[in-house]
Structure 1
Amino acid sequence: MTGNVWFIIGASSGFGKAMAKEVLQRGDSVVAVSRRGTSLKDLESLGAMLLDLDVTSDDATISAAFQAAIDKYGKITHFINAPGYLLEGPAEGASAKDAFDSINVNVLAVMNLTRLEIAYLRPRGSGYIANFGSVASWYGGPAFGHYVAAKWAVSGFTESVHEEVKEFGINVTVVEPGYFRTEFLNAEGNNRKLVSNTLEAEYKGSRVDMTRKALVEVNNHQPGDVVKGSKVIVDVLTGSDAAAGKEFPIRIMLGRDCINDIRAKMARTEKLIKEWEDISVSTDHDDVQKA
């Protein structure tokens, strides 16, 4: 037993569930949390404590969930914030409620959870927080603009918090997976939702339509292994095995496709800078340009 206590939000499926199993195998304690957390009997049979929590709840409700874990284990050392879903469809077809709900769950909830987690960890002078971004934190595309907006926000926020609290002994990182073979893209699940007006006829044959079909085709054929990915995340958050001797990273990028896509985005960005640099710098004040 290491004495680590993991509070894993979003433990009902995907990375959250795989991480819970990985951590339990290592002998750590796990609090498995989701909207229907008490239904996760398979994790309970492995030794996890189960909690129900809607991530959009008020501070008192979230703090009470933290306290329930602390009452049982005496502390929380690691917080994993992995709630969220994909809002799929053209931006034109998303209602105001669609957009708000997506940002509320995918971004505002993560920000609020992180705030309360820092408030708990800072007086203790140690701890870990991992928020889930995505390879979509790096580039936009048709049919998933709201998801991209959310994941860019989570990565940017987490990068800022990483710099803000490391002097207090708190290690914060953002996990940015590529395409992993989880239930995330299953149409019958809770992680993939359609905009209110999909405008299928209007967008037939467009890039939005092609993206829809591509998501269906890639589902259950994604290259990433969630078990391997979860082991890497846990290694990083414990400084062990694959992460032993390495500096704690500001982001954990997972999957060959993720690395390739990020490098491609960097190359496109460098090309854009070079093409427009003379115009970009021409906007400085004259006294700055002459300096």
Structure 2
Amino acid sequence: MAAFSQVDSPKVWLVTACSSGFGKEIVLAALARGDRVIATARDASKLQDLVHQGARALALDVTASDAELKKVIARALSFYGTIDILVNNAAFLLGGAIEECTDEEAYQQFNTNVFGTLRMLRAVLPHMREKRSGVVANIGSAGGWFGIKTMGVYGSTKFALAGLTLALRAELEMFGIDVTIIEPGSFRTATLGKGFSGNKLGCECVSSTFECPLFVS
């Protein structure tokens, strides 16, 4: 996509969940190519190392209300006057057997991984539509291509995100907004540490490790 290629004028990125993992690495890569980045996390104090690298930091929780997120995005727009690239990275992994997953656990998984993305879209897309340009990059998972035991509910959120991305791409094409999904496989990030939760039966299902490819669509 043109917006991701090296260009003379710097782009302005807004990235969710940047305190570690992919979010942090995306911020560092964008800064390295001379772009401007608004890094966000639920706890902005965890972004100080990125601030020292040149990023702007904002506290942002994708599970907050639409009204609260609109306030945060208004603050983000006050930094550079625009948002060219939105990276929806916020997610966590609920591990374990589907059978033992409670309604509340499933809701929390979808609330962050899917509804959180929808809230960010509602907050940012009006600005992109007005200027008739922009890029939305959703961070999915190879688990959104096929079912993986002990990751069924998590994977279903990524299946949902893939479907939303494809439809969103068609809806926004007329406004000059590009939409993509990046679907990595297994990486050692916080998603498999502090961002992981599981249940007993799921632990009994795990018999081997696996590696998955990276998909970009």
TM-score, normalization by structure 1: 0.68
Q: Summarize the alignment of residues 132-281 of structure 1 with structure 2, pairs less than 5 Å apart.
A: 132-186=139-193, 189=194, 191-195=195-199, 198-199=200-201, 204=204, 208-210=205-207, 214=209, 252=216
Relative contact order, CA 8 A, sep 6+: which one is greater?
2
1:63 CA displacement:
1.2
Which residue of structure 2 aligns with residue 284 of structure 1?
none
Which residue of structure 2 aligns with residue 247 of structure 1?
none
Write the distance in 1 (CA, Å) between the matches of 2:123 and 2:38: 17
Paired AA for residue 199 in structure 1: L
Work out the number of aligned pairs and report it: 210
Q: Which runs of 5+ in 1 are unaligned?
A: 230-250, 254-291
1:13 CA displacement:
1.4
Which residue of structure 2 aligns with residue 50 of structure 1?
57
1:22 aligns with 2:24: no
Which residue of structure 1 aligns with residue 130 of structure 2?
123
TM-score, normalization by structure 2: 0.89
* 1:180–1:223 contact (8 Å) kept in structure 2: no
Could you report, residue by residue, the CA deviation over 1:187-238 in whole angstroms, capped at 9, with x for unpaired residues? xx1x21124xx237xx74xxx2325xx3xxx6xxx688xxxx8xxxxxxxxx
Write the distance in 1 (CA, Å) between the matches of 2:90 and 2:51: 20
Which residue of structure 2 aligns with residue 40 of structure 1?
47
Q: Secondary structure at the match of 2:182?
A: strand
Which residue of structure 1 aligns with residue 4 of structure 2?
none
Identical residues among aligned pairs (%): 33
RMSD of aligned C-alpha atoms? 2.0
* 1:11–1:37 contact (8 Å) kept in structure 2: no
Could you report, residue by residue, the CA deviation over 1:74-95 in whole angstroms, capped at 9, with x for unpaired residues? 1111100001111001112111
Which residue of structure 1 aligns with residue 14 of structure 2?
7
* 1:130–1:172 contact (8 Å) kept in structure 2: yes
1:117 CA displacement:
2.0
Write the distance in 1 (CA, Å) between the matches of 2:30 and 2:206: 40
Write the distance in 2 (CA, Å) between the matches of 1:123 and 1:166: 13
Which residue of structure 2 aligns with residue 91 of structure 1?
98
Q: Which runs of 5+ in 2 are unaligned?
A: 1-7
